Amino acid sequence: MNDKINRRRFILRSFAGSLALPGLPSLMTGSLAGNSAITESRGAGAGAQRFVAVGNLLGFQLKHFFPEKTGKGYEETTLLKPLAANRDQLTVYRGLDHGLRGGHFAVHTFLSGLLHHESKNRTDGNVTIDQFIADEIGNQTRFPSLTVGSEGGIHGGCQLSWTKSGVRVPPITGPAELFDRLFIADSKQLQAQKVKENSLQASILDSIHDEARSLSKRVNSEDKAKLDEYFSSIRDVEKRLKLRQIWSDQPKPKAPFDKPADKNTVEDLPMLYELIALALQTDSTRIATLEIGGSFLPQHLGINKSYHGLSHHGNNEESVGHLVTLERYQIEQFGKFLTRLAGISDGEQTLLDSTAVLFGSGMGNANSHTNSDLPIILAGGGYGTGEFKKAPSKGPGKVPLCNLFLDIAQRMGVEKESFGTSTGRFS
């Protein structure tokens, strides 16, 4: 029977991320991190809460980013000037991080607060806040979430988004692919193929569910609890499969313009933001992430240097100047995205009013490889205070960044009391 389970485990991973039997010492089987069930109700669209997270792989020049004065009267630094028009719609935070070390190898913790290799025994693993929210409300839209980034650059591509089972969510890698996902209907041949795949996958789920139920009669009480988590995971996958079947019969929105061509990460950035805005406006999704990674090449901004090399600037004025140029461009595009959302009606308010937009990095200072004192901006979605808030960076008053993430999740309607390393809510 174990051979059958292993074969089914392989097939299930291809469409469910990961679904393997839990660790049962009494039967010496494999392991599973359980996923929580999601509700089946579909949302109303207009006025619904949404969330977007934008992450930069190499951080920002903190001396040019953070103001000195806190409150509403904070000065506009070099890197915050591009956001002058959006000032009243956002809050800048300092002192929030995850208390981790690891340099480039800890940047993937930006939205989770947990190192991947240290999260295996946690119920929620190193799930990121976008997937944490999507697990609860993602069934209300065609796409539970959209993950956008690149597979090029430092350390093998986008690592911004992770599931509860510790699986990296692969990114949509350019505007052409994102456009197709949002607006292009599958061919009749592909639709027929997906119907067959759904039927096969449903059959596999039925079979492995029966086998797991048979195992439950032969395990001790401790392992019975683990199997209960496994049954929850099966139900979760069944609901996702059902959701996919429902949306396969629903037409996609009409494309507002012709399919864009992929150029490069620098020139593609405005179009990626525009497509994410359209995804929110059409209620194709309510959760999206965008990572600006190592494939963001300075050459496309007229700088003949390596981005990674520049990040280790050693306080060289020319290198820092080049980095400020790169970072200002990224922040300018972020500001234009906020302005775009503010110009779209969403019921009785704007799309920005409905959308919490996080901007920052899991890297505090790339020159010294630190993951503390992270640059954080949160706009829209009730976070537009127009303030610069500075939290204690150490000591008993230290606030984990996950406290802010928990606040975002609860405002999105997620009824959970903790997330990652949170110790409470913070806004």
List, for residues 123-157, the tens digit of each pLDDT value.
899 999 999 999 999 989 999 999 999 987 776 77
**Is the pLDDT confidence value at 264 over 60?**
yes
The verdict on 194 and 233 lying in the same domain is yes
**Is the pLDDT confidence value at 364 over 50?**
yes
The verdict on 168 and 316 lying in the same domain is yes
> How far, in Å, CA of 169 to CA of 179, rounded?
19
Question: What range does the domain containing 329 cover?
Answer: 50-182+256-412
Residue 30 covered by a domain:
no
β-partners of residue 56 are 292, 361
What is the SS3 assignment for 392-423? CCCCCCCCEHHHHHHHHHHHCCCCCCCCCCCC
Question: Where a domain ends, among 195, 218, 250?
Answer: 250
CB count within 10 Å of CB 301 equals 14
Q: What pLDDT score does 401 carry?
A: 98
The verdict on 398 and 272 lying in the same domain is yes
The verdict on 222 and 281 lying in the same domain is no
Show Cβ contacts of residue 279 under 8 Å, excluding neighbours closer than 6 positions.
143, 146, 178, 182, 285, 288
In this predicted model, which residue has the larger pLDDT, 367 or 85?
85
Residue 78 banded pLDDT, cuts 50, 70, 90: very high
Q: How far is CA 258 from CA 93, 152, 183, 187, 232, in A?
A: 39, 26, 10, 18, 43
Question: Where a domain ends, among 250, 272, 298?
Answer: 250
- Residue 388 token pair: 């610069």
The verdict on 264 and 365 lying in the same domain is yes
β-strand 345-346 against 388-390: which pairing, if any?
Answer: unpaired
Q: Are 11 and 202 in contact (CB under 8 A)?
A: no
The verdict on 154 and 55 lying in the same domain is yes
The verdict on 120 and 218 lying in the same domain is no
Residue 32 covered by a domain:
no
Segment among 44-48, 244-248, 366-370 with least mean pLDDT: 244-248
Q: What pLDDT score does 209 carry?
A: 65
Show Cβ contacts of residue 107 under 8 Å, excluding neighbours closer than 6 positions.
55, 57, 159, 361, 362, 363, 371
pTM of the model: 0.81
Segment among 46-60, 112-126, 272-286 with least mean pLDDT: 112-126
In this predicted model, which residue has the larger pLDDT, 1 or 28?
1
Q: What pLDDT score does 186 carry?
A: 75
Give mean pLDDT, residues 111-120: 92
Specify the CATH number for the domain of residue 395.
3.40.720
Q: What pLDDT score does 417 carry?
A: 96
> How far, in Å, CA of 200 to CA of 5, rounded?
16
The verdict on 213 and 65 lying in the same domain is no
Task: Name residue, tokens 């599973």.
Answer: 32
Task: Return the percent helix, strand and coil in the chain, to nearest 5.
Answer: 45, 10, 45
β-strand 388-390 against 90-94: which pairing, if any?
Answer: parallel
**Is the pLDDT confidence value at 121 over 90?**
no
Q: Are 329 and 292 in contact (CB under 8 A)?
A: no
Q: What pLDDT score does 195 carry?
A: 62
Segment among 19-33, 231-245, 315-329 with least mean pLDDT: 19-33
Q: How far is CA 77 from CA 30, 64, 330, in A?
A: 53, 6, 15
The verdict on 201 and 101 lying in the same domain is no
Q: Are 55 and 110 in contact (CB under 8 A)?
A: yes
In this predicted model, which residue has the larger pLDDT, 24 or 79?
79
**Is the pLDDT confidence value at 34 over 50?**
no
Q: What pLDDT score does 190 carry?
A: 62
The verdict on 337 and 403 lying in the same domain is yes
- Residue 105 token pair: 């190898």
Q: What pLDDT score does 44 carry?
A: 46
Express each pLDDT in 219-252 by its tens digit.
676 676 566 656 656 666 666 676 666 777 788 9
Q: Which amino acid is at 265?
A: T
Q: Which residues of 390-409 are buried (b: 16+ CB within 10 A; e: fewer)?
A: bbeeeeeeebbbbbbbbbbb
Residue 369 banded pLDDT, cuts 50, 70, 90: confident
> How far, in Å, CA of 265 to CA of 261, rounded?
12
Residue 420 covered by a domain:
no
Q: Which amino acid is at 397?
A: G
Q: What pLDDT score does 336 carry?
A: 98
**Is the pLDDT confidence value at 35 over 50?**
no
Give mean pLDDT, residues 32-41: 30
Question: Where a domain ends, among 197, 219, 250?
Answer: 250
Residue 27 banded pLDDT, cuts 50, 70, 90: very low
The verdict on 156 and 173 lying in the same domain is yes
Give mean pLDDT, residues 389-393: 93
Q: What pLDDT score does 217 carry?
A: 67
- Average per-residue pLDDT for the chain: 84
Residue 63 covered by a domain:
yes
Express each pLDDT in 86-103 by its tens digit.
999 999 999 999 999 988
Express each pLDDT in 160-176 by its tens digit.
999 998 889 999 999 99
CA nearest 237: which of 18, 1, 8, 60?
Answer: 18
Residue 168 covered by a domain:
yes
Strand-by-strand arrangement of the 376-379 sheet: 146-148, 287-292, 50-56, 355-361, 376-379, 90-94, 388-390
Show Cβ contacts of residue 393 under 8 Å, excluding neighbours closer than 6 positions.
94, 95, 97, 372, 373
Residue 29 covered by a domain:
no
Residue 268 covered by a domain:
yes
The verdict on 288 and 227 lying in the same domain is no
Residue 93 covered by a domain:
yes
**Is the pLDDT confidence value at 395 over 50?**
yes
**Is the pLDDT confidence value at 16 over 50?**
no
Give mean pLDDT, residues 363-385: 94
Count how many domains the chain has. Answer: 2
> How far, in Å, CA of 422 to CA of 419, rounded?
5
Q: What pLDDT score does 359 carry?
A: 98
Q: What pLDDT score does 14 carry?
A: 43
Helix axes 265-281, 175-183, angle to 10 degrees: 20
> How far, in Å, CA of 45 to CA of 49, rounded?
9
**Is the pLDDT confidence value at 350 over 90?**
yes
Segment among 49-58, 118-127, 198-207, 333-342 with least mean pLDDT: 198-207
